[in-house]
Structure 1
Amino acid sequence: MAGFIQTMDSLIVAAARALAAGDPLGALNRVALRDDAHALALRGIAMAQLGDLVRAKALMRLAARAFGPKEAVARARCVVAEAEIALASRDLGWPAKTLDGARATLEAHGDRVNAAHARYLEVRRLLLMGRLDDAEHKLAALDPAPFPPASRAAHELVVAGIAMRRLRAKPARAALIRAGRAARHAGIPALMAEVDSASRMLDAPAARLIAQGEERLLVLEEVEALLESKALVVDACRYVVCDAGAKVPLATRPVLFTLARTLAEAWPDDVSRETLVARAFRARAADESHRARLRVEAGRLRTALRDLADVRATKRGFVLVPHRAQEVVVLARPVEEPHATVLAFLADGESWSSSALALVLGASQRTVQRSLDALSATGKVQSSGRGRARRWMTPPMPGFATTLLLPVPLSNV
């Protein structure tokens, strides 16, 4: 959180130092009964560290109003703290311009540490939304060397997050080692726990390989190696077909992707027309109209994959024949179900609003709400609050890194 240590009374200084060391209860013991601007701000940060984000947000807004017009730096620090609370509560619609204005104020007054923290918050927001290029560009402008250990740990966590979503396991692991070193130097338990959580995600199964009738789980290094191999990969995590760097996106063409996946799962064998009709069109029996439509869709798939593979007709159906690849495989999520993409984001253990989920998934809020209602009916998610304050959550899916292969909204793949 933003720092508030200035020339002020000893209780405020002691509370601020307690917060910097990750001791919110120690901070509250010093300022819980005070309602001046600095105390309100420190109480807000303490409540955020304790997980009461609703109360924390209210306190930070009170503090920002309590600071006078001549206390621009303190007000800007409140804005940065409120932005971090918004990020923690997955309020991704929080106005980025407000945070940018606060950062500019902090930079103008020489508060480089909190200005950098504001930049990290924006990068984390972009990363969460799948805007990897923008996040990487903003991160490149920051040099963490002169910052305190906690800021260096935050920097390395962002570096690791980008690398993981770019499927670069080795740079991600190196960044997490640096983050762990900085977090231990800072001595903040919550920061060390965040690094440990990211490290466990990197070691957890990220995907499932389906090849010639057999399945096995893959960690991120294995996914990276697979995508760099000579295999033709039908990626059911991001709805693309790829071969040695060449990619054919099919996220907006679900019938073609279903056909491609069905053919890839059966490779090197062919698939009957009845099976393809059932999988692609969800028809119980294939009549002549279904067969005619299948011929059309198979032709469209052949055109889409013309640089990677051929879709050939056989006596009983169709077969996928790669041009260069030595094998054909399917890369799927560790666990698949109708609302898996929503569950993948909820599995981070944080509370999400339906509007934030719609934003990161590139879907309408109504579509996301229907998924949440279906998941709630089966007990897989739960909600708290009402109206705009309603948040959805689920315990993390044990043993699986569910979001690693969701780097961008699926509709934009």
Structure 2
Amino acid sequence: ALALAQAAAVLQARADHANALQARLIAVRRLLLLGRLDEATSSLAGLDTSGVPPSLVAVAELAAAEVALRSLRTAAARVALGRAFDAAERARVPALLAEVDEARAALDRCAARRIHAGHEQPLRVDEVEALLVSGALVVDACRHGLRAGDRWLPLARRPVLFALLRALAERWPADVDRNVLIARVFRIHHPDETHRARLRVEIGRLRALVAPLVDIEASTHGFALAPRDGRAVAVLMPPIDGDQASLLALLADGAAWSTSALALALGASQRTVQRELVELEAAGQVRSVGRARAQRWLAPPLVGFTTILLLPAALPLE
């Protein structure tokens, strides 16, 4: 990042505005890959595309569209893609036109799945945006947290509590049997009193954590969510199943990634990422080239849906 900034400054000082802009756009792309959307937005706002080749204008507008999409501002993304298309046409670069077409197509693909009252529904990006601003109580399995309007409760570091909350939300407004919760969350299929006691403890922790947004009521056989203010409850699921969905989303761009770069982008340890890559390789979903420090990982494109919600910081977390 520092090297790119220094290169851009040197190029700008020598009045090479086009290559200076190119260096800054590469830096923006790096920020996007790392999920640092605020920094990417700030960097884009400071770019001056006047007088540069239309191909660079198209690249800048594509970056602006990705920032808008990753922030779930669909209307702004469509406007930026319109400007990118105009610039790509002026540049007469087929690869840029294809990239704009692919970004536009992503807007109409399935980005997530909504589970409501036991029924599953595919959602486009604009429908996800509408759901999050609807005021509904959304248990977000893409980012692992609970959202209600502007309020966000992260639970990524509380996997047991999130699993309980998700199980309750998927069955809302019905209750969930205690033994079903124990089997799903603790993976114990023949529970005894110690397991039921542990469930009561974890439900107590979850109840205290989500108290500002939703109550958890005990029933004859189990527990049920009771949202405040009459809110509806929905579960937002990734478009694909599996714990490695975010990893596959990063690899879906067709680029060759090192384990360390993937770990940095995902905010995970290299050991965790390496273990997941080995599992995906065994399943035939990724492949590696090279060895040791030169080893890189690739995956075929994911088709039929967009991975925008699986990328780092795809949803607004503040």
Band the TM-score falls in, shorter-chain normalisation: over 0.9
The answer on whether the counterparts of 1:360 and 1:409 sit within 8 Å (CA) in structure 2 is: no
Supply the distance in 2 between the matched residues of 1:409 and 1:204 (Cα, whole angstroms).
Answer: 16
Supply the distance in 1 between the matched residues of 2:42 and 2:287 (Cα, whole angstroms).
Answer: 36
Question: Among residues 120, 124, 128, which one is paired with 2:25 in the alignment?
Answer: 120
Supply the distance in 1 between the matched residues of 2:256 and 2:230 (Cα, whole angstroms).
Answer: 43
Partner of 2:256: 351
Partner of 2:169: 264
Query: Deviations along 1:85-109, whole A, 9 cap, x unmatched?
Result: xxxxxxxxxxx22222111111111
TM-score, with normalisation over the residues of structure 1? Answer: 0.74
3-state SS of the aligned residue for 2:225? strand
Structure 2 residue 150 is matched with structure 1 residue 245: yes
What residue ranges of structure 2 are gaps of 5+ in the alignment? Answer: none
The answer on whether the counterparts of 2:308 and 2:314 sit within 8 Å (CA) in structure 1 is: no
Question: Among residues 34, 38, 51, which one is paired with 1:133 in the alignment?
Answer: 38
3-state SS of the aligned residue for 2:236? strand
Supply the distance in 1 between the matched residues of 2:232 and 2:309 (Cα, whole angstroms).
Answer: 24
Question: Among residues 61, 64, 88, which one is paired with 1:159 in the alignment?
Answer: 64
Partner of 1:108: 13
3-state SS of the aligned residue for 1:312? strand
The answer on whether the counterparts of 1:164 and 1:404 sit within 8 Å (CA) in structure 2 is: no
Supply the distance in 1 between the matched residues of 2:294 and 2:230 (Cα, whole angstroms).
Answer: 50
Residue identity matched to 1:101: Q
The answer on whether the counterparts of 2:213 and 2:228 sit within 8 Å (CA) in structure 1 is: yes
Corresponding pairs, count: 317
Question: Among residues 99, 117, 126, which one is paired with 1:221 in the alignment?
Answer: 126
Superposed counterparts of 1:253-402, under 5 Å: 253-402=158-307
Supply the distance in 2 between the matched residues of 1:202 and 1:407 (Cα, whole angstroms).
Answer: 18
Question: Among residues 98, 109, 112, which one is paired with 1:193 in the alignment?
Answer: 98
Shift of 1:307: 1.2
Query: Deviations along 1:308-359, whole A, 9 cap, x unmatched?
Result: 1011111111111110243111000111113222112112222211111101
The answer on whether the counterparts of 1:168 and 1:224 sit within 8 Å (CA) in structure 2 is: yes
3-state SS of the aligned residue for 1:203? coil
The answer on whether the counterparts of 2:245 and 2:310 sit within 8 Å (CA) in structure 1 is: no
The answer on whether the counterparts of 2:106 and 2:306 sit within 8 Å (CA) in structure 1 is: yes
Query: Deviations along 1:70-94, whole A, 9 cap, x unmatched?
Result: xxxxxxxxxxxxxxxxxxxxxxxxx
Q: Which moves more between the two structures, 128-137 or 381-390?
A: 381-390
Shift of 1:403: 3.1
Shift of 1:136: 0.8
Superposed counterparts of 1:45-64, under 5 Å: none
Supply the distance in 2 between the matched residues of 1:145 and 1:205 (Cα, whole angstroms).
Answer: 36
Residue identity matched to 1:159: A
Supply the distance in 2 between the matched residues of 1:134 and 1:148 (Cα, whole angstroms).
Answer: 25
The answer on whether the counterparts of 2:170 and 2:235 sit within 8 Å (CA) in structure 1 is: yes
The answer on whether the counterparts of 1:230 and 1:325 sit within 8 Å (CA) in structure 2 is: no
Residue identity matched to 2:274: Q
The answer on whether the counterparts of 2:161 and 2:202 sit within 8 Å (CA) in structure 1 is: yes
Superposed counterparts of 1:22-33, under 5 Å: none
The answer on whether the counterparts of 1:232 and 1:325 sit within 8 Å (CA) in structure 2 is: no
3-state SS of the aligned residue for 2:130? helix
- The alignment-based identity, stated in percent, is 54
Residue identity matched to 1:200: A
Residue identity matched to 1:137: S
Shift of 1:409: 8.8
Supply the distance in 1 between the matched residues of 2:92 and 2:254 (Cα, whole angstroms).
Answer: 24
Shift of 1:244: 1.3
Query: Deviations along 1:191-223, whole A, 9 cap, x unmatched?
Result: 112212222222211000111111111000000
Shift of 1:405: 4.2
TM-score, with normalisation over the residues of structure 2? Answer: 0.96
Supply the distance in 2 between the matched residues of 1:261 and 1:281 (Cα, whole angstroms).
Answer: 14
Residue identity matched to 2:13: A
- Root mean square deviation, CA, Å: 1.6
Supply the distance in 2 between the matched residues of 1:253 and 1:239 (Cα, whole angstroms).
Answer: 9
Shift of 1:256: 0.6
